[in-house]
């Protein structure tokens, strides 16, 4: 079930028995000449959508613009400053907590978000810690490619030129969901495998990585590989989020019978 497609009465009936929610979180930033700007928001959303088809998981709205200051040299990229993102995540948290959600599982699609997400977690807990009250909620962060077994699968699918930005894995996941965009993989890239190096400000990034990729050859991305990654990641998400939600006394998500 998706929060955006539920009614308030359905949510009230679900709480407090099922007090967990999965929140996809990502970024809108360039992903090289063959990757979609929304890749980092789309990947966790696609995986959460697939999981919600197989199990009774509640999926929240995608937090779709993240901390991407280093991508701002490429048109279409959008960023929140870390301070803005922390404030917005704390407001999302307090809104859900007020309703009675007690476990917030953030499925992340953008490595550049990690430091800010952890800062937002600390900010949301700090108000309770300083008052000497127990926080009524707990957060969990998981990068989708670090779900159990997924990094191994991605490297097995793309043993050469996987890289770290605009990777064939993440691009394949988006092509599987939007196959009408898969012909982008026919674009000729030079060099075939992009350079690697440190990440600093936006100007330095564009000078170092002129087409936006880091260490990757995303022209290897296919719809079929994307489907395999989505299926495996959705199953891993159901298992892991279910375990986290069970901490709050809520049952593991019931499997929905396949049709
Ligand atoms: Zn990405």
pLDDT along the chain (259 residues), means of 10: 97 93 98 98 98 97 98 98 98 98 98 98 97 97 98 98 97 98 97 96 97 97 98 98 87 57
Is-contact 102 19, C-beta < 8 A? yes
Expressed in angstroms and rounded, the spacing between residue 14 Cα and the centre of ligand 1 is 34
Tell me the longest C-alpha to C-alpha distance in the chain.
59
CA of 93 to the centre of ligand 1 (A): 24
Q: What is the pLDDT of residue 78?
A: 98
**What is the model's pLDDT at position 256?**
64
C-alpha 170 – ligand 1 centre gap (Å): 6
Q: How many angstroms does the Cα of residue 113 sit away from the middle of ligand 1?
A: 11
Does a cis peptide bond (omega within 30 degrees of 0) precede residue 191?
yes
Q: What is the pLDDT of residue 259?
A: 45
- Ligand 1 centroid – CA 173 distance (Å): 11
How many A from CA of 249 to the centre of ligand 1? 34
Q: Which two tokens stand for residue 11?
A: 């949510």
* Res 253: pLDDT: 63
Question: From the CA of 136, how far away is ligand 1's center (Å)?
Answer: 32
The pTM for the full model equals 0.95
DSSP label of 35: B
Q: What's the pLDDT score for residue 248?
A: 81
At 239 the pLDDT is 97
> Which residues, in sequence order, are bridge partners of residue 23?
106
Nearest CA to 241 out of 140, 145, 171 is that of 140
């Amino acid at each position: 079930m998706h929060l955006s497609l539920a009614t308030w009465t359905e949510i009230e009936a679900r709480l407090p028995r099922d007090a967990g929610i999965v929140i996809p979180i990502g970024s809108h930033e360039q992903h090289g000449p063959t990757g979609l700007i929304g890749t980092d928001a789309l990947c966790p959303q696609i995986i959460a959508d697939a999981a919600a088809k197989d199990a009774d998981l509640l999926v929240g709205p995608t937090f779709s613009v993240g901390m991407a200051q280093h991508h701002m040299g490429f048109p279409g990229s959008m960023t929140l400053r870390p301070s803005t993102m922390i404030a917005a995540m704390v407001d999302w948290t307090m809104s859900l907590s007020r309703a009675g959600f007690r476990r917030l599982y953030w499925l992340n699609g953008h490595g550049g978000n990690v430091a800010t997400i952890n800062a937002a977690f600390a900010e949301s807990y700090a108000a309770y810690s300083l008052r000497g009250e127990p926080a009524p909620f707990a957060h969990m962060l998981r990068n989708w490619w670090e779900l159990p077994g997924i990094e191994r699968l991605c490297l097995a699918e793309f043993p050469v030129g996987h890289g770290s930005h605009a990777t064939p894995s993440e691009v394949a996941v988006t092509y599987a969901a939007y196959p009408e965009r898969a012909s982008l993989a026919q674009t000729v890239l030079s060099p075939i495998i992009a350079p690697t190096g440190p990440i600093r400000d936006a100007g330095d990034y564009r000078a170092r990585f002129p087409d936006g990729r880091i260490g990757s050859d995303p022209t290897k991305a296919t719809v079929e590989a994307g489907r395999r990654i989505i299926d495996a990641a959705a199953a891993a998400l159901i298992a892991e989020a279910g375990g986290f939600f069970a901490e709050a006394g809520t049952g593991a998500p019931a499997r929905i019978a396949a049709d």
